[in-house]
Amino acid sequence: MIRRTKRSEFIGRRKTKPLKPAAAALMDQLLPQLKLDTAKPAPAELTTLFNGADSVFLEIGFGSGEHLLQRAEANPAVGFIGVEPFVNGLSQALVKIDAAKPGNIRLHDDDAGALLDWLPAGSLGRVFLLYPDPWPKFKHWKRRFVSQRNLDRIERALKPGGLFLFASDIEHYVGWTLNQCHDHQSFRWVASRANDWSQTEGGAFDGWPGTRYEAKAIRAGRQPSYLTFERVE
């Protein structure tokens, strides 16, 4: 079922099956502790949300949180903001976070575009968009997260030289993203070879822990692609 709300640009399902009691309890108890209060002005220095972290990274649509958590544990000096409006995925991530207690994760459970608008300009070192919904039907392409409007938002939030990292196993969405970033002209594709977009070996990002979406794609015989774009001045 597709839902639209006045307060959010998010399109898609918020929830499928009922939550288990333990997960529901974390939604009530842990999420309020980690959730960003976007009703208030953003801090001038985003790192203050993480006790003076060296940098802040953002993951848009983190699913059940395995990539977000592994990155946070491997990089304790970096603050991580994770966005996930889908309640079932968010609840699964909270179970992992509660067990690991990394201390450098904050969460946003609504529209990523609104969060990007809230963030201070030039406050992010990296933005991850990993295996987003491809909206494969032509009439739905306008719903894809990668768009000129959202690239404007990412550009504003990224520091000069910051990175936008995109992964997908849908060939057409990979091509779409390359074209959108090329047309935007504020992003330089960082590629080590001409066919970099089509390679998995050596093509995944530094410190890549893998995700369940990637494993699912490989099992289905689909080739994941990894694109890195640098925000240029």
- Tokens found for residue 186: 């504020």
Confidence at residue 147, expressed as pLDDT on a 0 to 100 scale:
97
Q: In the predicted model, is pLDDT for residue 44 greater than 70? A: yes
Domain enclosing residue 39, as ranges: 21-231
**Helix residue ranges, H only, the chain:** 21-29, 31-34, 66-74, 87-100, 112-118, 148-157, 171-184, 212-219
**Residue 7 domain-assigned (yes or no):** no
**pLDDT surpasses 70 at 2:** no
pLDDT in tens, 125-149: 999 999 999 998 989 889 999 999 9
- Within a domain: 14: no
Please name the residues in contact with 139: beta carbons below 8 A apart, sequence gap of 6 or more. none
> At residue 212, does pLDDT exceed 70?
yes
pLDDT tens figures, 150-161: 999 999 999 999
16 belongs to a structural domain: no
Nearest to 29 by CA among 83, 80, 94: 94
As annotated, the active-site residues are: 133
Residue 182 pLDDT more than 90? yes
Residue 93 in any domain: the answer is: yes
CATH of the domain at 165: 3.40.50.150
Whether residue 83 is contained in a domain is answered as yes
Q: Is 3 inside a domain boundary?
A: no
Identify which has the larger pLDDT, 101 or 198: 101
Q: Give domain status of residue 124, yes or no.
A: yes
Count of domains forming the chain: 1
State the pLDDT at residue 42.
96
pTM over 0.85: yes
